[in-house]
Structure 1
Amino acid sequence: MDKKSLTERDICSKYITPAILEAGWDLHTQIREEVSFTKGRIIVRGKLHTRGEQKRADYILYHKKNIPIAVIEAKDNKHSIGDGMQQALNYAETLGVPFVFSSNGDAFLFHDRTGNAAKTETEIGLNQFPSPAELWQRYCVWKGIATAEAVQTIEMPYYDDGTGRAPRYYQANAINNTVEAIARGQQRVLLVMATGTGKTYTAFQIIWRLWKSGTKKRILFLADRNILVDQTKNNDFKPFGAAMTKISKRQIDKSYEIYLSLYQAVTGNEDEKNIYKQFSPDFFDLIVIDECHRGSAAEDSAWREVLEYFSNAAHVGLTATPKETKDVSSITYFGDPVYSYTLKQGIEDGFLAPYKVVRIDIDRDLQGWRPRKGQLDKYGQEIEDRVFNQSDMDRTLVLEKRTELVAQKITDFLKASDPFAKTIVFCDDIDHAERMRQALVNLNPERVKENRKYVMRITGDEQEGKAELDNFINPEERYPVIATTSKLMTTGVDAQTCKLVVLDQHIKSMTEFKQIIGRGTRINEDYDKYWFTIMDFKKATELFADKDFDGEPVVIYEPKEDEPPVPPDDIDVTPDPQSTDSDKDNAIDDDEIPGSDISGGGRRIKYVLGDVTVHVIAERVQYYGSDGKLMTESLKDYTRNTVRKDYTSLDQFLKRWTSAERKAAIIKELEQHGVLFEPLAEEVGKELDAFDLICHVAFDQPPLTRKERANNVKKRNYFAKYSEQARKVLETLLEKYADTGIENIEDIKILTLDPFKNMGSATELVSAFGGKQAYMEALAELEQNLYA
């Protein structure tokens, strides 16, 4: 058989796979073929979404099932040996793989990314593919793994629950890089992973492998909220079983191996102070610190002591938001991250939900408001004579009608989309969260009548609301639907089905902003949660434009020896002299203190007015673009720009369309690049098919409706040359096209559906044309006439 006529799959099965097997690789444990390792970016337009292309490697080769060490990209024999190399290098960079191969079935092009080879790229014969032992030895040199103990540690397999669940590629990168760093003797390790990417599951697999290999025998996992410790113990860490305990009592039981604790439980109040000293300094050999950017000003010295007391243990810090400010630095303590996986990468890969932003500007926020001379507020306080603006709203000045307006916009949005979409409303303090709850209750009487928990205030000071947190984050529980909060829900709340995040809070801290946005980034396909909306009333989303939003952290400041190694959480980067956020409102405790209670040692004055009118003066919708930036453009503009990236001219598009065996393939390709035909058809004209939508929107051509195209074909009367039954099939196909478009009639299975099945079996209908080949030729001729 002519090698040039073989498909890519044929080249794989006849040449590439045999060459790998001949070199000693095991088909069942070391070779995986056609591996899709990303999900494909979710592209949102209007109320619809589609997924972009997945990254899919032809082959990934593994050491001991755990560690990917080589990628192979195959091409058919019409391509050169190295044609797949650039694509393979892209995959290898993503997967952290050092050895990269490209082949067309004649030979291999081998690229060594370790920097240790005499030549970076060499061509090798099919019979020269390196053995597993050779690549593993080179891998160990690259990673600096020099001892038998280190090899034993990193070869320890993942925990397998029998369901087939395996770490995603970026979790595997994080786990392997951390285990390898500790196997080499590194004592401080930082992992940066965006909210919603499975940090706790990643931490579990790291601990499991280090524990099972005997490298680390006693392990402490520190988290900053009770709910996080309990979630961890009952979910991801459950396989540790009887070896695990939660530190909560004053008397410590030292018979366990895995300990979970709140920071506060091992630092405690005065009575419990130094509870951790019941352990000897060498008791733990690994401490994993979740949310390692956090720690409040009042408490950081206490849990810094914990890390210093167990200073001989390895410390692994996990965070979505490493703290790098002029005062504090995660990197200075832990070192550069051994792995980073950002929000932008997560959205690009399709593992995190993209967002669209609705920014709403209110007149009193932007134009300001000034009281009349001697004007009193609702409670008889004389109002300070000055201009109050956005930075004052809900902190020093409460306009009740503004709260009602925000609540109205939230209600309108939910009514227009999904009244039961889980919603978090971030307010400035507990007083504000309570007023917002009342306003939403009053605007949704029917929903509240169905269930009083439709709207709940979930803040640290109030047990009734706090008790509903588990129900809010449980996808199977309908209520509460709307949660008003201030600080309690900024971190660690795994709200998989949250579809609306409302920002009516002054947010100047990039760390806090990232954490809040993270509440919406989880995807839950079972509950139709693929993307979310951010509704912003206080210009918080301007932080998206900040270069630090998804950038690499940079060390700006190195603490001196007597300063905290693990940085505290910040409240504001630029504190407002009249800030309402007390230190305790940002504390790592479960408690949340109303921001209006204390400020600078005394009561903060808040003026409340019920009769000042407010109006929306601007509202715009922005989408998350493919470059990770917010963009404001119409669906038509977006389509034109996207199509013209693929087709620079109308001629180029027409040639591709005419030559394509299946038009559906072109339509799918455009959809994967972000063109959504359904909302576009609603905006431009529902009766147009994909071809006319593209020609009209992208290249300014006058469109024809599907019915007009079908009628033009009928006028040509070219069906006359066919038998009566074949003619009937073609006429019915034409009617189907006029109703539903080109994609449906291209699939031969349509002959098994109504009304075709009433005309005869699919085999009989195809026979009327003289066989399948003749039927496909008749269909191609029909398409030529449609688009003539």
Structure 2
Amino acid sequence: MDKKQLTEADIISKFILPSLESAGWNSMTQIRQEVKLRDGKVIVRGQLGVRKTVKSADIVLYHKLNMPLAVIEAKANKHEIGKGMQQGLDYARLLDVPFIFASNGDGFVFHDKTNLQALETEIRLEDFPTPAQLWHKYCAWKGYTDAQLPIITQDYYDDGSDKAPRYYQLQAINKTIEGISSGQNRILLVMATGTGKTYTAFQIIWRLWKARQKKRILFLADRNILIDQTRLNDFQPFGQAMTKITGRTVDPAYEIHLALYQALTGPEEQQKAYKQVDRDFFDLIVIDECHRGSASEDSAWREILEYFSSATQIGLTATPKESETVSNTDYFGDPVYTYSLKEGIEDGFLAPYKVVRVDIDIDVQGWRPTKGQVDNNGEVIKDRIYNLKDFDRTLVVDERTQLVAETITAYLRRTDPMAKTIVFCNDIDHAERMRRALVNLNPEQVAKNEKYVMKITGDDELGKAQLDNFINPKKAYPVIATTSELMSTGVDAKTCKLVVLDQNIQSMTKFKQIIGRGTRIDDRYNKLWFTILDFKKATELFADERFDGVPEKILVVKPERITDEDDTTFIDELNSGESTRQDADEPSEQNDIADEHGDYTADISEWIQDGETTGGELGSDYVKYRVSGVTVKKLAERVQYYDTDGKLVTESFKDYTRKAVKQQFASLDAFTRKWQAADRKQAVIDELAENGVIWEALLGDINNTMDPFDLICHMVFDQPPLTRKERVDNVKKRNYFTKYSDTAQKVLEALLDKYADAGIQEIESMDVLKVKPLDQLGNTLQIIKNGFGGKPQYHQAITELEAELYRDFPHSA
């Protein structure tokens, strides 16, 4: 056996796996092959989204299920023994393991992060470490004590399905369990929206519960939908041990309790149901969306956490809140693990976005009433310049509402009229007017189903009843939901493809939550990316350095905070359309700013219950003006893409392609040499697609009669283009077919015609032999044997055909 001729798969099966099994590794429970750690980033161009291909770790070794210890990267024997090391180090970083092995079948290079004196050594196949040896070194590296091990080694929940924690979920779970086993009682997990915080929490609770480390557990949230989704989905395996607290009664017969804050407490003493049980009743509390009510020191909801202060408390959030008045890290400490939106998009677990920014003339230039002008209700409009922050908050311009609705409708008609869409408005009144405008602009769709557009807000029972249907991918209706606060967080709308921002947003926390409504991916329903249609310049927050990082702690306690805060100044600022307070436009349980109406109210019980406010006035003199007859038009509309470096860029496909290709190929000659040398031209096409050059989008935007090669030469290097048909005509004129048999000539001529119609990809796939007219010559094997004598000769003929097609290469001067 010539080892140099063996494939990578042969090296694994004939040398690496026998070495592992000889060392005592169990092939059923401890060795996993082809472990895919990432899904592949989605690249978006136009209306197309394609995934980048990702490599899998060749082998991952486990102490037991979902407890990774080591990564092994294999290469064919023609390569040096340690060639796979850098790849292995990348996978080890994702899995947070200290042991990496690279092999070409001759032995192993062993990278051992637990031994800094001999970081990389070469070992023989027969000297591979045993499971006990690696586990012992791992425990010493982690600093585990004997008392920690029963908790740390407790099994994950496994129902036998293919569902397993992703690499970042493993890290979050394991780091949390490690922290708790070492005595840490306050833990913060920061994970971007759509990355499975609740599933992660379930696995943490399951392992602690099964280890009997934590016997009574409380899962806290502030919205019914969050509790119900959790109970019916991720937490279902708890079965009869689980209950949802209702009727303000805590039943000690259950071990897993799910509860709304509102079910446990209230302003009156008799509403404080949590006091029915002793302070040490719960020994673990998990707080979902902990950036909201429980974050603030003076929150009515914080009293629950403080009552059960002896319990271990885990805060879950996508947006750790750091402001002058509120800090998550002040209460929970620094996050034990953070997985950001940017990481999620890069790994392909979260959907990237493109932004369509629409500038409206009165938003940019402002609008001022004429002297003594009255609104539609006869009120004299206060004489000042109204701008972007005012519209639909203190001043309604009917024509502006109409223009926004027309833009939304036009976008959906141009792309997909049935794409799930959330329109974020300033308040309930705005959401209702937007609903009406969209209904009137889509009569054909509404005639098919009157739920095509629905207002889903806290005050509307019919609308709220449709929320489950909106987030259910199997339900077509509602398609468009107008809302303000109810759907800004915690709503798992996997197939939402369009997020419309017509709401004033200055709060980074709120912005992240709203953007999170679109970041979920659902391959089954072709939801790989989403569009943000922005009318309020909210997406300028993407450029804020706080957008994707962990915010710095800026908690400031001022002497005056010791007494009750006077909100009078803030009310005046809000009346004037200005505010200097950070997060002023975000609803807050503590300062009673109810954003549904842009109003100030002392009673927010309905918002607390439903995630919305439904009443209240911003002072007795507060007036919202409404005017009609204003000429309103769009000044500009531009498209921005999430680029490969994580930034939003504004550029055309042509500009992007020029830049991406020139980064890879310095000259025309470099590109043509690569193209000519490639056994399969599709490989070059795929390589460029990895950098965001999506051919389907380019051809649709420019010219679909050109070959990818000619398109690049023309667009990037200014060469005169040839169409595919012109290339075919040139080949036929040269009449080079005569050296082939009659059958082979018929095949090659048919392939040329296929190339002229569909491009180079068509003739490089053997599937082309199964379709007309080639299927008339026999099945695939018969065509290859009768026409060419065998598979190698057929592939050689295709190579020669491509050489003839690209015989006249352009060359740079």
Is the Cα–Cα contact under 8 Å of residues 332 and 558 in structure 1 kept in the other structure?
no
SS, match of residue 682 in structure 1:
helix
Structure 1 partner of 2:125: 126
| Aligned residue type for 2:725 | K
SS, match of residue 302 in structure 1:
coil
Matched, 1:555 2:553: yes
Per-residue deviation, 1:437: 1.3
Structure 1 partner of 2:589: none
Cα distance in structure 1, aligned partners of 2:351 and 2:424: 19
**What does residue range 628-667 of structure 1 map to in structure 2 within 5 Å?**
628-667=646-685
Which of 743, 749, 772 aligns to 2:761? It is 743
Count residues with an aligned counterpart. 779
Structure 2 partner of 1:50: 50
| CA spacing shift, 1:785–1:142, aligned 2, 3 Å | same
Per-residue deviation, 1:215: 1.1
Structure 1 partner of 2:509: 511
Is the Cα–Cα contact under 8 Å of residues 320 and 550 in structure 2 kept in the other structure?
no
Per-residue deviation, 1:732: 1.4
SS, match of residue 190 in structure 1:
strand
Cα distance in structure 1, aligned partners of 2:325 and 2:245: 32
Is the Cα–Cα contact under 8 Å of residues 194 and 350 in structure 2 kept in the other structure?
yes
Matched, 1:686 2:704: yes
Is the Cα–Cα contact under 8 Å of residues 144 and 184 in structure 1 kept in the other structure?
no
| Aligned residue type for 2:759 | G
SS, match of residue 453 in structure 1:
coil
Structure 2 partner of 1:593: 613
| CA spacing shift, 1:170–1:561, aligned 2, 3 Å | farther
Per-residue deviation, 1:713: 0.9
Which of 561, 572, 582 aligns to 1:573? It is 582
| CA spacing shift, 1:283–1:558, aligned 2, 3 Å | farther
**What does residue range 208-607 of structure 1 map to in structure 2 within 5 Å?**
208-270=206-268, 272-295=270-293, 301-557=299-555, 573=582, 575=584, 580-582=598-600, 584=604, 588-594=608-614, 597-599=616-618, 601-607=619-625
Is the Cα–Cα contact under 8 Å of residues 324 and 557 in structure 2 kept in the other structure?
no
**What does residue range 85-164 of structure 1 map to in structure 2 within 5 Å?**
85-114=85-114, 117-147=116-146, 149-164=147-162
Per-residue deviation, 1:558: 6.8
| Aligned residue type for 2:609 | D
| CA spacing shift, 1:563–1:279, aligned 2, 3 Å | farther
SS, match of residue 702 in structure 1:
coil
Is the Cα–Cα contact under 8 Å of residues 294 and 302 in structure 2 kept in the other structure?
no
SS, match of residue 300 in structure 2:
helix
Per-residue deviation, 1:751: 2.4
Structure 2 partner of 1:21: 21
Is the Cα–Cα contact under 8 Å of residues 247 and 260 in structure 1 kept in the other structure?
yes
Is the Cα–Cα contact under 8 Å of residues 453 and 479 in structure 1 kept in the other structure?
yes
Cα distance in structure 2, aligned partners of 1:586 and 1:559: 30
Per-residue deviation, 1:398: 0.9
Is the Cα–Cα contact under 8 Å of residues 289 and 318 in structure 2 kept in the other structure?
yes
Structure 1 partner of 2:567: none
Structure 2 partner of 1:567: none
| CA spacing shift, 1:682–1:178, aligned 2, 3 Å | same
Which of 721, 724, 728 aligns to 1:706? It is 724
| Aligned residue type for 1:123 | E
Gaps of 5+ in 2: 563-578, 586-592, 808-813
CA RMSD, Structure 1 to Structure 2 (Å): 2.4
Cα distance in structure 2, aligned partners of 1:708 and 1:680: 20
Cα distance in structure 2, aligned partners of 1:138 and 1:668: 42
Is the Cα–Cα contact under 8 Å of residues 296 and 325 in structure 2 kept in the other structure?
no
Cα distance in structure 2, aligned partners of 1:754 and 1:591: 59
| Aligned residue type for 1:672 | E
Structure 1 partner of 2:6: 6
Is the Cα–Cα contact under 8 Å of residues 507 and 584 in structure 2 kept in the other structure?
no
Moved more, 328-337 or 755-764: 755-764
Cα distance in structure 2, aligned partners of 1:314 and 1:528: 41
Structure 2 partner of 1:183: 181
Is the Cα–Cα contact under 8 Å of residues 296 and 586 in structure 1 kept in the other structure?
no
Cα distance in structure 2, aligned partners of 1:768 and 1:427: 66
Superposed CA offset, 1:730-781 (max 9, x none): 2112111111212221233432332112123433322332332222222211
Superposed CA offset, 1:470-493 (max 9, x none): 111111222211111111111111
Superposed CA offset, 1:621-668 (max 9, x none): 111111111111111121222223332322222222222222222222
Cα distance in structure 1, aligned partners of 2:194 and 2:507: 20
**What does residue range 186-197 of structure 1 map to in structure 2 within 5 Å?**
186-197=184-195
Is the Cα–Cα contact under 8 Å of residues 223 and 611 in structure 2 kept in the other structure?
no
TM-score (norm 2): 0.92
Is the Cα–Cα contact under 8 Å of residues 280 and 308 in structure 2 kept in the other structure?
yes
Cα distance in structure 2, aligned partners of 1:293 and 1:574: 13
Cα distance in structure 2, aligned partners of 1:539 and 1:491: 20
Matched, 1:776 2:798: no
Moved more, 120-129 or 464-473: 120-129
Structure 1 partner of 2:571: none
Per-residue deviation, 1:507: 0.2
Per-residue deviation, 1:326: 2.3
| Aligned residue type for 1:502 | V
Cα distance in structure 2, aligned partners of 1:653 and 1:17: 41
Per-residue deviation, 1:587: 5.1
Is the Cα–Cα contact under 8 Å of residues 42 and 52 in structure 2 kept in the other structure?
yes
Structure 2 partner of 1:40: 40
Per-residue deviation, 1:120: 2.3
Cα distance in structure 2, aligned partners of 1:23 and 1:666: 42
| CA spacing shift, 1:276–1:707, aligned 2, 3 Å | same
SS, match of residue 394 in structure 1:
coil
| CA spacing shift, 1:582–1:140, aligned 2, 3 Å | farther
